[in-house]
Every structure is written in C-alpha cells, then in structure tokens.
C-alpha cells in the first residue's frame, strides 16, 4: 500500500481520536540534520567517544565529554524544526494532541511551538553544577566551546564542572517526565509514534501501556519496528513526506 493510502487511514484515526499522544525518536530529528546515535557514523559507533557519554565517563573527564559531544551539539544548535514537528504543533492547536513524549534532547518540539513536551532523555539546552546544582542555560557555553575559547563550563559559584541536563548512560530517566508520559499513554485513545525504532527502554514501553488502555497505534518510521504488528497503521517512509500529506488535511 502506498503512503498516500496509508496516510489517509492515519488521518481517519486522527479525526476520530479525542486524546492523542505522540512518541518521537531519533527519526524526527535526523530529518532536521541531527545525526542518529545508532546510525552510520553515529556516536554509538565510536567507542572512544562513547566512553565519555556515560555518567562515569563524565565524572572521569568532563572535558572529554564536551569534546566527544561537540559535533552533536553543533548539529543540534543549527537544526530547525521539520514539517513533522509542525504537524504535532498543529494537532495540539486543534485540541486533539495532549502531549509529546520525546526521546530526543534537541528541544525542537519546543522550538516548533509544542507546549506539552515530556523530554524522556533530558535536554541539551540547560545544565547544572555537579556540586551545588545551580542551574544554567547552556547556549553561551556551547558557543564559547565552539569558538575554541572554552573547554569546560564551570560553575560561577563553586567552580565545579557543569553537566548538561541530558540522560547519559548509567543515569535514570527524569522521574517527572516519565511519570507524566506514562499517565498520558494511559489516557490516550491514539498514540502517534514518529521516528522511533522502539528498542530503547523504558520509552519503548509506552506503546504497550497505550494499547493496554485501549488505544490504537500509528507508526511512521523508515525501518520496521518490533511493534508494527500491533499498530492500526504502519508507514515505512520519511516523516516529512507523511507530514506534508497530512498537514493540509488537518488544517481543513
């Protein structure tokens, strides 16, 4: 079945739904130019860099962490929301979409205009001191690092390293974001899964929670997922193509 027919089926479900929740993964961000950790050339394929992207790696060498993540942070800093991000904003504006639960750290949902976003893996935009927990906006630090004028952001109060509010290996998900995502999944009648391979847990539990509560799934992803057989509609293709087909019909 071609994407146009599948999109029509997805749109019919969206029109019927009263409480939609979206779960988004790396695929919605790769279309914005942000590399996938798991994809070719991704950070997961670079063992040397990967060693710094854990909590123990950060503690061992905060400077190493910022070096290892510099390319990713630069890509995120340049990225703009895509038509898929705008589709979710539009669905929120109609009152149907109640929340976005995202596995991404780039903040593009908020940039696009989504108001209810649960960032399951944290955000690169803010950070806090590893000693006194003073909160910081990180953009200025990233700019200084990118210009070669800084190797490690330090707290203005106690001079300890500042860590971005992203979930590193060995860290738990932010409790509030997870609890709110579970509650949203339990209350929804339709879950839109955009660009997630559904292999990273516990985020991949959310579709099962939604199904257990009686919701239907629509999955749009380039590759197959282990949840495809459970979905009412599964589309293997670009999110941008799906969004460009869907947006005009949602708007009317």
Q: Which residue has the tokens 């738990």?
A: 172
The answer to whether 88 and 112 have CB atoms below 8 angstroms apart is yes
Confirm whether 121 is a catalytic residue. Answer: yes
SS3 187: helix
Beta bridge partner(s), residue 192? 22, 218
SS (H, E, C) 97-117: EEEEEECCCCCHHHHHCCCCE
Beta bridge partners of 7: none
Question: Looking up tokens 């960032």, which residue turns up?
Answer: 119
Strands 233-236, 216-221: parallel, antiparallel or unpaired by DSSP?
parallel
Planar angle of CA 153, 155, 159, nearest 5 degrees? 100
- Measured in Å, how far apart are the chain's first and last C-alpha atoms? 25
Q: Which of 109, 121, 227, 252 is catalytic?
A: 121
The pair of three-digit structure tokens given for residue 39, joined into one six-digit string: 């994809």
Alpha helices in the chain (DSSP H): 3-16, 26-30, 47-50, 55-60, 62-68, 70-78, 83-93, 108-112, 139-146, 175-187, 206-212, 239-250
Catalytic residue ranges: 121
């Amino acid at each position: 079945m071609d994407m146009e027919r599948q999109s029509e089926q997805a749109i019919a479900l969206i029109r019927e739904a009263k409480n939609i929740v979206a779960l988004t993964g790396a695929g919605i961000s790769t279309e914005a130019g942000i590399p996938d950790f798991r994809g070719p050339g991704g950070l997961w394929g670079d063992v040397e860099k990967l060693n710094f992207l854990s909590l123990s790696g950060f503690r061992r060498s905060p400077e190493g962490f910022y070096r290892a993540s510099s390319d990713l942070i630069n890509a995120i800093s340049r990225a703009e929301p895509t038509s898929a991000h705008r589709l979710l904003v539009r669905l929120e504006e109609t009152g149907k979409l109640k929340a976005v639960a995202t596995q991404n750290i780039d903040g593009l949902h908020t940039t696009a205009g989504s108001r209810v976003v649960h960032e399951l893996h944290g955000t690169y935009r803010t950070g806090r001191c590893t000693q006194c927990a003073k909160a910081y906006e990180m953009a200025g630090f990233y700019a200084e690092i990118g210009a070669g004028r800084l190797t490690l952001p330090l707290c203005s109060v106690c001079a300890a390293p500042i860590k971005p509010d992203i979930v590193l290996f060995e860290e738990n998900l932010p409790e509030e974001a997870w609890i709110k995502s579970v509650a949203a999944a339990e209350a929804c009648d339709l879950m839109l899964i955009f660009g997630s391979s559904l292999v990273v847990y516990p985020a991949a539990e959310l579709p099962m929670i939604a199904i257990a509560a009686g919701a239907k799934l629509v999955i749009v992803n380039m590759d197959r997922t282990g949840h495809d057989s459970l979905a009412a509609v599964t589309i293997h293709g670009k999110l941008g193509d799906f969004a460009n087909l869907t947006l005009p019909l949602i708007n009317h």
